[in-house]
Amino acid sequence: MQRICLFPGTFDPITLGHVDVIKRAVSLFDKLVIGVGINSSKQPMFSIEQRTGWFKEIFKDEPHIEVAGYEGLTVDFCKKINAAYILRGIRYVSDFEYEKAIADMNRMLEPGIETLFLTCSPDYSTISSTLVRDVIRNGGDVSKFVPKEVKY
């Protein structure tokens, strides 16, 4: 049985922290699916096509990584792609508290899917998509925080 993991998020935009977590996690699984989520309660700055396209470009030479957009419950998407694992990146203790609540809910919805947490490398722990969007909105340079493939 293949070890398939979903790394879900809105990735609006993709940051170097996201890329770091993905690069460090990919060897742990047979396949890592980056699930770019459509969140009905959020109005993204970048389209789903932009976000999935950036990931496809960044990881074009990595055969163990796939990229897909999805809508709805993360555990339902896991079942659709046969993923037994959900990967979440953690920067701070506050991230863990939030992510654990989601992981607990997912476990109650689908007990067979495990959530794994990977801490962010210290170099990227202060980077968040929210902060990057704020810098972009105010005309700042975010090239230190996002992969070169991310065009804004």
pLDDT tens digits for 22-55?
999 999 999 999 999 997 777 899 999 999 999 9
Q: 3, 42, 80, 137: which is the annotated catalytic residue?
A: 42
pLDDT digits (tens, 9 = 90+) for 94-126: 889 999 999 999 999 999 999 999 999 999 999
Structure tokens belonging to residue 8: 């879900």
The one catalytic residue among 40, 64, 129, 137: 129
Q: Is 129 a catalytic residue?
A: yes
Among candidate residues 3, 47, 88, 91, the one labeled active-site is: 91
CA dist 39 and 10 (Å) reads 7
Mean pLDDT calculated for residue range 128-150: 96
User: Does the annotation mark 91 as catalytic?
Assistant: yes
Q: Which tokens in the block code for residue 129?
A: 């998509």
Question: Could you tell me how far CA 75 lies from the centroid of its own chain?
Answer: 15
pTM (2 decimals)?
0.95
Show Cβ contacts of residue 72 under 8 Å, excluding neighbours closer than 6 positions: none
Q: Tell me the domains of the chain and their CATH numbers.
A: 4-137 (3.40.50.620)
Could you give the C-alpha distances from 90 to 3, 25, 63, 69, 82, in angstroms and in order?
21, 13, 25, 22, 24
146 pLDDT above the threshold of 80: yes
Q: Do residues 50 and 24 lie in contact, with contact meaning Cβ atoms separated by under 8 Å?
A: no
Radius of gyration, CA atoms only, the chain? 15
Query: For the chain, first and last CA: distance in Å?
Result: 40
Is residue 27 classed as helix, strand or coil in its secondary structure? helix
Q: What is the mean pLDDT of residues 119-147?
A: 95
Q: Contact at 8 Å (CB) between 28 and 56?
A: no
Identify whether 18 is a catalytic site residue.
Answer: yes
Which tokens in the block code for residue 92?
């701070």
